Amino acid sequence: YVELKHGRIAMVATIGFMVQKFGVHFPLYLGPTGSNAFSPASDQAWLLSSSSGVTFSDVAAAAPLDAIQMVPVAGWLQIFAVAGWFECVAFDRQWTQEGRVPGDYGYDPLGFTKGKDMETDEKMKSLRMKEIKNGRVAMMTIAAWVSNEAIPGALPVWHP
| pLDDT value of position 134 | 93
Hey, is 62 helix, strand or coil?
coil
| pLDDT value of position 67 | 81
| pLDDT value of position 25 | 67
Average pLDDT of the chain?
78
Write out residues in the chain with pLDDT < 50, as ranges: none
Residue range 58-91, pLDDT digits in tens: 777 778 888 888 888 888 899 999 999 988 887 7
Q: Which of 33, 70, 39 is nearest to 53 (CA)?
A: 70
| pLDDT value of position 160 | 62
